[in-house]
Amino acid sequence: MQAASPETVWEPYLLLTRREQAFKDLKGSLSIRPIWHQLEKRIEAHIFVSFLAFCLHTTLRNLARGRAAGLTSGAILEKMSNIQIIDVHLPTTDVRHMVMSRYTQPEKDVSFLLAQLGLSLPEQPPPKVYASGQIGL
């Protein structure tokens, strides 16, 4: 029997520490706490949303590692939390209404951060016109 190389022994340990860190992230910065769901589909949905949040944090952390060193995924999300989307409802002269979904323009520091991370905001969506009584959601 041959002795295992240091790399072979070390790799599972690194994977274990990454998994443990993932659970700490889920419980810590993501503020995931026990929620008592009654229906299986709600449990699955909760796990799915939690997993998506974890993926977002992991992706931001990996982006920051090479492009914005020193920033955590939480700090990036905090910076970007100023970007908001709003629906502007405008009545028309023919009893319809127009809905324009718009996001706020980012501050200069957020624009710089987006550029550093290689990210960009999508184009503003075109307005939608709805008949009277319809809700544009």
Domain extent listing, the chain: 6-78, 84-130
Starting at the edge strand that comes first in sequence, how are the strands of the sheet with 128-130 ordered? 85-91, 97-103, 128-130
Residues 77, 78, 80, CA angle at the centre, nearest 5°?
Answer: 65
pLDDT tens per residue across all 137 residues of the chain: 577 788 888 888 887 787 777 767 666 665 666 677 788 888 888 888 878 888 888 888 888 888 888 888 888 888 988 899 899 888 888 888 899 999 999 999 999 999 999 999 989 888 888 887 666 55
Residues 43, 48, 18, CA angle at the centre, nearest 5°?
Answer: 115
Q: How many CB atoms within 10 Å of residue 132?
A: 10
* CA dist 100 → 21, 86, 95, 108, 128 (Å): 41, 8, 16, 24, 6
Cα 113 to the center of its chain, rounded Å? 15
Eight-class DSSP state of 72: -
Residue indicated by tokens 């307005």: 127
Q: Which residues, 6+ apart, have CB-to-CB distance to 110 below 8 Å?
A: 79, 80, 82, 83
